[in-house]
Structure 1
């Protein structure tokens, strides 16, 4: 039987020969005595869908505004395609920005909104018509071309704004919370549309969001920020499965954090003593840990198995009492209390109908997980 060829994985950040499209070199931005961006160095590559993720005030919007040219660095350099863009005004940069409000012209039709930037640049008529037609097809708006913004839905307005931003074929498109005004279901649908359009055009997208699910869905890589610093840059899977700090583990998704002292065990494992009288947690560290060192063990709820009996194929077992249940349709989250008083969450897929499920409030159950199910963090 012929073997299928392995798919090419898009990961230019792992190729030392690849030159980044965007490079922040030791960039600091101050507003008076407040430091919004603190000595930031970061590379973003061509055709990436890159997400800046963090809480309000972490500096992600300031980074985007500096890329667009609306703010200038206090110190350091920003390069786009190898050129220092510090002296280049916003309208001369090969960068476009799509705002959360969409900023469509209410008196213009969909096609005229898309054509606006091209007409302002005095592009010839036939080229404008061809480009607008291409953008209408790309965003599936052909039948809405003659309508005005108030005559189409919020999701369609979002696509008009995207088409207008892409019409001038920028090297870089900046998206500032672009889906914040949409309801949850439409937002999820539009995330996949954005990914599809980005892949078809090959344009580099940089999105600012505080919505971790959005960042994890659309991005090739995510930069998690806090207080003007990038704490970790990695793929969504890397951020979720191997966070480099308690901050990142806690910020992305649900997680249980158990703190204790580490002691060496056989086979390169460690035992984490977290409560008097409790069986220590057996874990596999990813970096050296000194005997007696304070560590945090981070484990996602879905990595914990809940059962009436301990699962002896797994290295760790603990008794737990169910104190609350959150039924979310496809999954149920169990909030449990260990004999030590430690509270943990476990998640299970609802593969069976509600009437046939086993556990309820106040049940005494066993929790089991493997030695590699969690991450040992030192901070």
Structure 2
């Protein structure tokens, strides 16, 4: 068993955050883009700001970079108020989705550009550029121009250039958006590796939940300028704090009903003539209040015969998504509610156990769903 300590400075009250947002609001005229946000980000974190377009994540990042000024509140970097510090004097660097490489300069000169502007000695620049080329594994391509290398390699040049000045903080604005799916997945792991090697704090803005969940130590889910939940990827996936977060992250079925305490669990009446759904929860809900059960498809089992188990529901398969390693079944319940169930395709066979229009049973245990208030 590994003796490595788990990286979680946010759980240690003695740790001081590198970045601190205190009551930060940003308004553009009548529109509030960021609404009274308090947030701490720690040194060496790979932190993701995640949310749909227009949720305020890019505005939050632009304020951190110094391209926008908060309407209200304070942003501290390493204990220093950033308000009077212009963007070029901050120990931050920003990598844009477009990469913004100079087409007439070689890979080496693109990486060296910021260092030359700072007037660093030539031998120091050369040593740093070589170090960056090794870090992003582009030594062989150092003399090429940006149009002579692939999209993924251009992305690495932009990353090397951003890291060359050894910023305390690197801001990444949708950095993988221009890459195809396979290359994007490969690059996510490269980014994580580079972040770990350099020890630089990374803050990434993305609308891609899979990307945020893969790379980040913690994720802030945003909506309408507010933080909905800030937690580690497993916490956000397994213990969302609201219907919005549960619905935004991954595939999920959300069933609405009326709850009542029933011994050690809550029972939720959700459809006439149907057995109640029983869920374990630490929430303190009053009998008769509205509740929502969120359940992930991999937690739902599907059967041809009725099982002896908790939360057994009858339905009909109306859709099947075959994804190679697994199949997702959309099962319509008696009241028209669709519940998703997943089966791993462990055997190499083209014959499917379940097919369209099959009458089936689905079930999930009392610990597999999450009870939410709203």
TM-score (norm 1): 0.97
Aligned residues: 374
Of 88-97 and 318-327, more deviation after overlay is shown by 318-327
Q: Counterpart in 2 of 1:51? A: 48
1:194 aligns with 2:227: no
CA distance in 2 between counterparts of 1:316 and 1:179 reads 41
Does the CA contact (< 8 Å) of 1:310 and 1:368 recur in 2? Answer: no
Q: Counterpart in 2 of 1:181? A: 178
1:298 aligns with 2:330: no
Does the CA contact (< 8 Å) of 1:305 and 1:367 recur in 2? Answer: yes
Show the 5 A alignment for 1:186-265: 186-265=183-262
CA distance in 1 between counterparts of 2:281 and 2:2 reads 34
Q: Counterpart in 1 of 2:75? A: 78
Provide Cα deviations, 1:315-359, integer angstroms capped at 9, x if missing partner: 221111111111111111101111222211111111123434311
Deviation (angstroms), 1:6: 3.6
CA distance in 2 between counterparts of 1:54 and 1:355 reads 38
Q: Counterpart in 2 of 1:311? A: 307
1:323 aligns with 2:323: no
Deviation (angstroms), 1:5: 5.0
Does the CA contact (< 8 Å) of 1:55 and 1:226 recur in 2? Answer: yes
**After TM superposition, what 4+ stretches of structure 1 lie above 2 angstroms from structure 2?**
4-7, 309-312, 353-357
Provide Cα deviations, 1:122-172, integer angstroms capped at 9, x if missing partner: 011111011000000000000000000000000000000000000000000
1:102 aligns with 2:76: no
CA distance in 1 between counterparts of 2:59 and 2:280 reads 39
Unaligned runs of at least 5 residues, structure 2? none
Q: Counterpart in 1 of 2:269? A: 273
Deviation (angstroms), 1:285: 1.4
Q: Counterpart in 2 of 1:332? A: 327
Q: Counterpart in 1 of 2:156? A: 159
CA distance in 2 between counterparts of 1:60 and 1:120 reads 30
1:360 aligns with 2:355: yes
Provide Cα deviations, 1:197-253, integer angstroms capped at 9, x if missing partner: 000000000000000000000000000000100000000001100000000000001
SS across alignment from 1:376: strand
Does the CA contact (< 8 Å) of 1:53 and 1:215 recur in 2? Answer: yes
CA distance in 2 between counterparts of 1:183 and 1:279 reads 46
SS across alignment from 1:355: coil
Deviation (angstroms), 1:365: 1.1
SS across alignment from 1:230: strand
CA RMSD, 1 decimal: 0.9
CA distance in 2 between counterparts of 1:178 and 1:195 reads 13
Unaligned runs of at least 5 residues, structure 1? none
SS across alignment from 2:195: helix
Of 90-99 and 342-351, more deviation after overlay is shown by 342-351
SS across alignment from 2:350: helix
TM-score (norm 2): 0.99
Q: Counterpart in 2 of 1:29? A: 26
